[in-house]
Structure 1
Amino acid sequence: MLKYIIFDFDGTLADSRHVFISAWNSLADKHKYEKINRAEWNTLRKLPILERIKRLNFPIFKTPLIISDFYRFYRKYAKEIKLYPGMKEVLDTLERKGYNIAIISSNSEDVIKEVLRRNNVRNISQIMSSKFIFGKDQLIRRFLKEQHLRKSEVMYVGDEQRDIFACKTAGVKIIWVSWGYDAKELVQSQKPDYFVDSPKGILEVVYQQDR
């Protein structure tokens, strides 16, 4: 039986695409990488993350150097980050049905809390944040250990190829959502456990899993 539903934040719960692009472009000159042309966003969504990074001439080793700049930008413009339509209702419904809700994200905890506060979301039991592009599987394992949970008692909801990889590595099932950062063409070969195209689909999968 499922006890926890774990959500990714950016691209899954929250629409932060425009803030991400603005942050990326505002720091491009400082860190010497290419800016994102908004018209090319859908093309970038179809590329694996390492190919995107190569296309934008971004040295991945610089990630730790710019992450604090990104967090500062996100804090400044957190008011522009909104929950996707229908996601608050999903969270409220899951809580009413007795599920616990957590967030494991690469965004900073304070930004996530601010966005949740502005959207009157108060039913998140735990938020875990990683400063690394990869490595969510380690956070998932830590979460399971801290909460004394079996792998079968949690399900993750995410939007990226790296979310699928992390879940498969950690041994938990994942619901992939189509409205986020990665395109369906990119993730199909990764075979997430479930594909959904609407917030309502998340509830349908959870209920189906617990029958």
Structure 2
Amino acid sequence: MKLTALCDGRYPSHVLFDLDGTLVDSATDLAAVVDQMLTNLGYEAAGEPKVRAWVGNGTEKLIRRALAGSLDESAADRLPADKYNQAFEIFMALYAEQNGQHSEVFPGVLELVEKLAAEGTRMAVVTNKLTRFTDQLLARSGLARWFDVRVCGDTLPVMKPDPRTIQLALERLGGPVTQALMVGDSETDINVAAAAGIKCIAVSYGYNHGMPIREQGADLVVDSLAELL
């Protein structure tokens, strides 16, 4: 199915993209940093498969999940009070160096954003990643030029799936919700789109905590963004 099939035969006026797992495969860098953080604190390394399952809800949750060794980060509450602060400082320092070093833009992304730009569609990134790391990753991956508007995990007091993230992105783009779409890789993206009253396209290759994305209620699921052309 082409993108226009979701918008009454036209290209959408605005498209909001998630970042990690949708535009860029960043899990290799994140896993390397998480494992270094854990070993520096005396824990065993988690390994990339586990870290891939933990990504998607912001830096704080990723660190807490790593400390807990589980997607359920509540076990981190039983750690000494200063353990999270230590972990946070180590993570931030390491990731500032390594963010984007081994990340790769997913196949089909460039083709789609180039086509959308040619059609006059305005685009934004809406992510739970912190602003400094979002800007750094977009720059290092060569995608920054397509996304003047970025709503990140520290832009507002709330993050996805709160619909205020979508609303702010559309305000900054200067457009209505009627011809807007969300493109993401997780249940969080599907839920925030629904809460904001816009349709959502989900990609099957991203980070959805090990759950099959096709069962999460997206308006359309694709294996590559090139399928939308």
- Please report the TM-score for the alignment, with normalisation by the length of structure 1: 0.75
- Cα 1:130–1:185 shift into 2, 3 Å: closer
Deviations 1:163-207 (A, max 9, x none): 111111122111100111127853333211110001212x24xxx
Deviations 1:47-66 (A, max 9, x none): xx999522894449x9x956
For the pair 1:169 / 2:195, whether they are aligned, the reply is yes
Conservation of the 8 A alpha-carbon contact between 1:105 and 1:130: yes
Code of the residue aligned with 1:179 in structure 2: it is Y
* Counterpart secondary structure, 1:156: strand
For the pair 1:38 / 2:56, whether they are aligned, the reply is no
For the pair 1:108 / 2:130, whether they are aligned, the reply is yes
- Displacement after TM superposition at 1:10 (Å): 0.5
Equivalent position of 1:209 in the other structure: none
Equivalent position of 1:124 in the other structure: 147
**Corresponding pairs, count:** 199
Equivalent position of 2:167 in the other structure: 141
What is the alpha-carbon distance in structure 2 between the residues aligned to residue 36 and residue 159 of structure 1?
22
- Displacement after TM superposition at 1:94 (Å): 1.2
Equivalent position of 2:3 in the other structure: none
Structure 1 portions without partners, runs of 5+: 205-211
Write out aligned runs for 1:143-158 (5 A). 143-158=169-184
Structure 2 portions without partners, runs of 5+: 1-6, 55-60
- Displacement after TM superposition at 1:148 (Å): 4.3
Query: Runs in 1 of length 4+ with deviation above 6 angstroms?
Result: 30-34
Conservation of the 8 A alpha-carbon contact between 2:124 and 2:169: no
What is the alpha-carbon distance in structure 1 between the residues aligned to residue 75 and residue 159 of structure 2?
16
Identical counterparts, % of pairs:
21
Equivalent position of 1:19 in the other structure: 29
- Cα 1:192–1:135 shift into 2, 3 Å: closer
- Displacement after TM superposition at 1:162 (Å): 1.2
- Cα 1:21–1:136 shift into 2, 3 Å: farther
Equivalent position of 2:14 in the other structure: 4
Conservation of the 8 A alpha-carbon contact between 1:107 and 1:130: yes
- Displacement after TM superposition at 1:85 (Å): 2.5
* Counterpart secondary structure, 1:115: helix
- Cα 1:68–1:83 shift into 2, 3 Å: farther
* Counterpart secondary structure, 1:103: strand
- Displacement after TM superposition at 1:117 (Å): 2.9
Conservation of the 8 A alpha-carbon contact between 1:11 and 1:181: yes
Code of the residue aligned with 2:26 in structure 1: it is S
Code of the residue aligned with 2:179 in structure 1: it is E
What is the alpha-carbon distance in structure 1 between the residues aligned to residue 204 and residue 130 of structure 2?
23
- Cα 1:162–1:59 shift into 2, 3 Å: farther
- Displacement after TM superposition at 1:141 (Å): 1.8
Conservation of the 8 A alpha-carbon contact between 1:154 and 1:173: yes
- Displacement after TM superposition at 1:21 (Å): 1.5
Equivalent position of 2:222 in the other structure: 196
- Displacement after TM superposition at 1:149 (Å): 2.8
Name the Cα RMSD after superposition: 3.6
